[in-house]
Structure 1
């Protein structure tokens, strides 16, 4: 039977989490799906774990390492469903995830991207007390640029026909069709969402239940934040090539929101000094986040000040007690 939904799950060195991701797909109340696991050339036991599953709806596709965008493109090109669901292999879904998105898309033919709210889990899979509560309707390209209501790469289910509106040939492999930009190693999702909205005129709409469990970690280096911001600027550079007026109109405000988000990440990583610098840069770019979301902006500043005064270890203990494990953006 032809699957209604193709679930695309790239796998690269995630042996600690991949079984949870697969189990969450196989536990879906909606059964008419295929799970395309894209082996992206990792070196751990991840794919051995994947091969231990015998469900006939699972297919494993192996390729040399291309990164997340390249693995997603490979999966989409192999997909047979009219809907494409994305799941990162360290995240999980609730059992009703696919069923509710299929109902949403079937009954709203003008919606090209359906997404849900998400809740956070820690590295051990334990729920945190924070959720992503995105804007669900009336979403403009400006909303996507500034706040990315989709939230994370495991939240959306897309029409295949919507993706085809922005498909392009790989720049060096003429036979390969791309949807995500493989030259980006971060922010590739927001780049695609913007292209879908601006070039494909695709409508985005969300459903309220928190159906995705998005895993966050507390470790890492502040250099990750610099790379993430550089990647976001790469998205802006691409945007400027096909929608320069839009990019110019929204850049300062979107930059301010991005810097505030990264400030919250810096607090999470324990770098209060970087968080304060990012907040200052955010305010210098635009005061709109402070006006439009004063509580979140002030909470970010308060967290950065507290982290500086208390020190990373003591602040981590206090924020863990308050947030159910970690401070997250």
Structure 2
């Protein structure tokens, strides 16, 4: 990337929070980015019908020039729909890159500059490691895929430059890695927008998988670089992921239903090789059993599950819905509630 050329980056932040002050931390981390003077950020902050008014959160926030803040408002559609709202308002003729940041997360000051240096003029898709509020380990340290890559660098990774933490990943290895595990947390992702300006989040996957499907789409059509540096901190706000661990909530049942739908969409959207088909079929089997178990578990506790998710799955695979009672029995006998194996 020519250091003398101007670069415009769109930063997308979907906002739906119940706690005041969460967004302020995210915005301060954006303002604290150490960038060359030729790089300008425009923050697209999407108020997704948030209980905490966005006006209160940005009242004392002043983003330094040449950066700008744009506030968009809409009825609640979920994080994917909110990000799409921003993407629809970004001109690919003006913006070179898009960077995502969730409203309860924070960037380290070096995050965006490191991403842009890594992407350069050649690569389209970047993500890095991150740390979370609930653990001392980094995300990559907890994943089988990135651990295998790190331990066998000569097989999976090619060092990008003199930094010993940034690597080029073979597109096939990246795609299979993303099928196996959720590698790229949303707030770590930066991508070249003009080459993928038509890509959108699948809003049918409201509670799970919409971002994962987006990353798979990027991985299938571009070359990627990843950084093992933890340049992002993920905080605790309104978070669908963490609510999924409470199996007594309807939203948890829905989430696993959406995960079934997500893997069914992968099967129809991408031409999978034998290894990809095997991984995806295993995921469909695992999450179908979990969803079936939680669906009937909730029903037998006197609560009626959200049937609309089941109907959506039915349109994709009548077979999975017909097998739900059997999957419930298999899961109950195998002690799924005790093992929490999904």
Q: Give the TM interval when normalised to the shorter protein.
A: 0.5 to 0.7
Question: Counterpart in 2 of 1:229?
Answer: 256
Matched, 1:121 2:146: no
Shift of 1:82: 0.8
| DSSP-derived class of the 1:34 partner | strand
Deviations 1:57-105 (A, max 9, x none): 1111112222111110111222342110000000111000000001011
Q: Give 1:155 shift.
A: 1.0
Pairing 1:193–2:218 present: no
Matched-pair contact (CA < 8 Å) for 2:264–2:284: no
Matches within 5 A, 1:174-253: 179-185=200-206, 186-198=208-220, 201-216=221-236, 221-222=246-247, 223=249, 224-243=251-270, 245-246=272-273, 248-253=277-282
Structure 1 position 255, deviation (Å): 5.3
The CA deviation at 1:184 is 1.4
Once the two structures are superposed, the pairs formed by residues 31-180 of structure 1 within 5 Å of their partners are 32-55=40-63, 57-79=68-90, 80-106=94-120, 109=122, 111-122=123-134, 128-133=135-140, 134=146, 135=149, 137-138=169-170, 139-150=173-184, 152-164=185-197, 167=198, 179-180=200-201
Q: What number of residue pairs does the alignment pair up?
A: 247
Q: What is the CA–CA distance in structure 1 between the aligned matches of 2:72 and 2:203, rounded to whole Å?
A: 18
Contact 2:263 2:284 in 1 (8 A): no
Shift of 1:51: 3.8
Matched, 1:19 2:24: yes
The alpha-carbon deviation at position 13 of structure 1 amounts to 2.2
* Alignment check: 8 A CA contact 1:18 1:89 kept: yes
The higher radius of gyration belongs to 2
1:253-268 correspondence to structure 2 within 5 Å: 253-254=282-283
CA pair 252-278 structure 1, distance change in 2 beyond 3 A: farther
Gaps of 5+ in 1: 123-127, 168-177, 263-272, 283-329
User: Structure 2 regions of 5+ residues with no counterpart?
Assistant: 141-145, 150-166, 292-334
Distance of aligned partners of 1:274 and 1:249 in 2 relative to their CA distance in 1, 3 Å threshold? closer
Summarize the Cα distance change of 1:257–1:155 in structure 2 as closer, same or farther, 3 Å threshold.
Answer: farther
Cα deviation code 1:188-217 (max 9, x no counterpart)? 11111222333xx22232012100101257
1:16 Cα deviation after fit: 3.7
Distance, in Å, in 1 between the alignment partners of 2:281 and 2:338 is 19
Cα distance change, pair 195–36 in 1 and its aligned pair in 2 (3 A): same
